[in-house]
Amino acid sequence: MEHNLIFLAIGLLLIGSVFLSRFTSKIGIPTLVVFLIIGISLDTSNLISSTVHNYELVQTISIFALIMIMFSGGLDTEVKLMKPIVKPGLSLSTVGVVITAFIIGIVVHLMLGLDLMLSLLLGSIISSTDAAAVFSIFKTQNMKIKNNLDSMLELESGTNDPMAYILVISFIELITVPNLAISTLVIHFIQSLVLGTIFGFVLGKFFAKILAKIHLAVDGLYPVLLLSTAILSFSVSEFVGGNGFLAVYLAALIIGNSNIKNKESQMSFFEGFAWLMQVALFILLGVFTTPSELFSVFIPAVFISILIIFVARPIAVLISLAPFNVDVNSKAFVSWAGIKGAVPIVFAFYPLVYQIPGANLMFNIVLVTTCISVLLQGSTLKFMAKRFNLLDD
């Protein structure tokens, strides 16, 4: 009987999310906010509670969801639209992430008194923009931005997760292994990016050829094969020491711009599946949270949100885009579009799994900052595009 109630709740949540997406997109509120609220307010059963608080299981589910979201984003990305903005986009996703993480970390350490390494870890967790949030808002609000800024933001949000991931793992290693040599981290950093790039490219080309030539008896198996490709791209790259998230995005980018069989139906499948993963992630975050604990971190979290939105992100954008011919209005809009979402949720589980001191504090701060970012920046993104005269009608 308990399982039937759980299945009933899941069914109602899924069908509700579909209909809510139409309503929220019309009034300009990101649907992701609704998922967060549902998750926070969800009165979980003992079965769900005990399962959710298995940190390693939740982390595994979260990583799987992020793989699917990033793979879907890569499939939808058109390379020909990316070519003019590759350099500024990659600058934002690398230099921008590092600058954001360090500004947040140093200011939090100085102003809030949190340990420096923990502050930098927190900064790394919330340093990247979120592909799921950016893709979702652009699609649901049917937004097209001038100067290829929408493509730049999609490229940034799709490629900055690997950099944030490396920073998160690096600071966790520095905290758990105090005598770890910096040279070891540098070698690991280079190895992760190089191997992730190589295996993402090679596996993308390999699976693109297979998906273009293979004949399956049942059309429904093509999306299954594509889903397997996403999982293998991540796991193989991670197994050899590469960055799995980078490999997933690159493989999807190559496959999505190749002539594969039943391409339209497979793209539609992954779009829906990625949406399901977003729903799961945001509800999971809410279910995992103890609402009473949010009050103790609310003021620090608001301070950090203000720091990110009005200080760290704008400085990171100005420095990252300084070498490129980008006008002031475009820089201002890119600064405002640094939306947080699913990625900080996934990365916030890592300190819990590794039993880092203050992990629960960081998790609750990530929840509040994510809510503020999605609600404030997500709901006003179209307005800001109009304000800066960048909305392409």
What are the structural domain ranges in the chain?
55-387
Whole-model pTM? 0.88
Predicted confidence (pLDDT) per residue in 107-163, tens digit: 999 998 999 999 999 999 999 887 667 766 777 677 778 888 888 888 898 888 889
**Residue pointed to by tokens 């979290």:** 301
Q: Looking at the DSSP assignment, which residues form a beta bridge with residue 391?
A: 145
| Alpha-carbon gap, residue 4 to 391, rounded angstroms | 47
For the chain, the farthest-separated pair of C-alpha atoms sits apart, in whole angstroms, at: 62
pLDDT tens track for 218-244: 888 888 999 999 999 999 999 999 999
Q: Are 376 and 92 in contact (CB under 8 A)?
A: no
55-387 topology per CATH: Na+/H+ antiporter like fold (1.20.1530)
Contact 290, 355 (CB under 8 A): no
**365 vs 80, higher pLDDT:** 365
Alpha-carbon distance of 365 to 301, in angstroms, equals 5
pLDDT of residue 45: 46
User: Are 266 and 223 contacting, i.e. CB atoms less than 8 angstroms apart?
Assistant: yes
The pLDDT value given to residue 260: 87
Q: Return the SS3 of 220.
A: coil
User: In this predicted structure, what is the pLDDT of residue 158?
Assistant: 80
pLDDT at 28 (0 to 100): 54
* Structure tokens that stand for 44 in this block: 């979980």
pLDDT score recorded for residue 69: 87
